[in-house]
Structure 1
Amino acid sequence: MGKLLCPSMMCADFSNLQKDTKELDQAGTDIFHIDFMDGSFVPNFGMGLQDFELVRSSTKKLVDVHLMIQNPGKYVEMFADLGADIIYIHPEADQQVARTLDTIRNKGKQAGLAINPGTSVETIQGLLPLVDYIMVMTVNPGFAGQKYLDYVNPKIEKLVELGKIFDFKVMVDGAISPEKVDLLSNMGVTGFVLGTSALFGKEISYEKTFEKLRN
């Protein structure tokens, strides 16, 4: 299977989000990635529900939501009903992670776990049969433009191996440059959340950027 390229819409042009979404769609986006933050679990605020609804209504491609919020279990049904295809929660933020993952799947959606740089594979191992995606945070979540944390690479390698057993895809999010796409796809990573390190604010078109990253 080829790489999944997932623009982080937090980095898109908010003065014309619909136009940006349509351009990204035509350029070959696989999954639109939307961050929600609550200022509590992470020290920042992400996109709003109206932004999500605008992106969702502007594309037929998959849309994921990354819930960087406390108690995500309270909100997953709402996001499923709004049309999210994949819902990522943080095990660090949920008292009943297994139940929340079950809820996502019972709504007919794909369940994702997003794990912080400091979270070990061992602490989530029992949840792996319940997930379709694991997204490894390669920066501490909450802000764009941080430096990639190389110490997460052994964890990524371990999860790629476990993904073959439990049938989930490994994604990465945080300071993903073209060089990192190259390195990590060779490790077996399937999906890449793309922000300012690889996609947005560049001189070349989205289409050309995607073409280069796929090659």
Structure 2
Amino acid sequence: MTAPLICPSILASDFAKLGAEVAALEAAGADWIHVDVMDGHFVPNLTIGPDVVKALRPHTTLPFDVHLMVAPVDPWLEAYRNAGADVLTVHPESGPHLHRTLGRIRQLGAKAGIVFNPGTPLNILEDVIDLVDLVLIMSVNPGFGGQSFIDSSLRKIAGARRLIDAAGSHAHLQVDGGVTSANAAACVAAGADALVAGSFVFKGGPDAYAANIAALKSA
């Protein structure tokens, strides 16, 4: 079995040293850098604007996987793409026309992702699967790092895998929220091929990043 992509969430990093943090993650074997963008409206937190993403871009060659937890989302797509986002992932609830939003992301030259919160039904995916490069299953309710994994998310991961495979899609299936070495294997067994991890990767500081990432890859 191929090891999953490991996408550390910089929400759990030292914000005073973000440039050094993303460089350390690349050196430690991370595959993507996951950037959680929150607007204090769609979710109850406020995090990273496009200028920060732009400032980080020279510090790593890894893809920037930008999860947009903002509403309305459409006005921000171009700004984050121009700042250096390689993947832009949106929630169905963050705008009135999901199909148009996903198409616009691809038009901008980025890969398009769709996010499913614990309470968002998967059937939405069927109508837009041809525009999706990444399906993200939230295994916590979005807004804050450090939450515990919701076990029922495993059924949702498996359901998403079935839909992706039935459509003949090559979309990645990503999981985000409370991911650790204790549940990573279950996520992969359910069908995930990309894991977002914040607190688990960053625990112990930069000297521990490589071991933490390796633990997720081998779980």
Aligned: 1:43 with 2:67: no
Output the amino acid matched with 1:158.
Answer: G
Q: Shift of residue 90 of structure 1?
A: 0.5
Relative to the length of structure 2, the TM-score reads 0.93
1:40 aligned counterpart, secondary structure: coil
For residue 182 of structure 1, what is the aligned residue in structure 2?
185
Q: Secondary structure at the match of 1:192?
A: strand
Distance 1:45 1:142 in 2: 9
For 2:203, the equivalent position in structure 1 comes to 201
Alignment of 1:109-124 (within 5 A): 109-124=110-125
Q: CA RMSD in A?
A: 1.4
Structure 1: runs of 5+ lacking an equivalent: none
Q: TM-score, normalised by structure 1?
A: 0.94
SS in structure 1 opposite 2:195?
strand
Structure 2 match to 1:170: 173
Identity within the alignment, %: 33
1:135-156 Cα shifts (integer Å, max 9, x gaps): 0111000011112111222111
AA at the equivalent of 2:19: Q
Query: 1:193 aligns to what SS in structure 2?
Result: strand
Match of residue 103 from structure 2: 102
Instruction: Give the count of matched residue pairs.
Output: 214
Q: Secondary structure at the match of 1:112?
A: strand
User: Bigger CA drift: 122-131 or 25-34?
Assistant: 122-131
2:214 counterpart of 1:211: yes
Cα deviation for residue 50 of structure 1 reads 3.3
Partners in 2 of 1:34 and 1:184 — Cα distance? 21
Kindly state the Cα deviation for residue 59 of structure 1 after the two structures are TM-superposed: 0.6
More deviation, 94-103/48-57: 48-57
Q: Shift in Å at residue 26 of structure 1?
A: 0.7
Where do residues 17-56 of structure 1 align in structure 2 (5 Å cutoff)? 17-56=18-57
Secondary structure in structure 2 of the residue aligned to 1:171: strand
- The alpha-carbon deviation at position 49 of structure 1 amounts to 2.8
- CA contact under 8 A between 2:50 and 2:83: conserved in structure 1? no
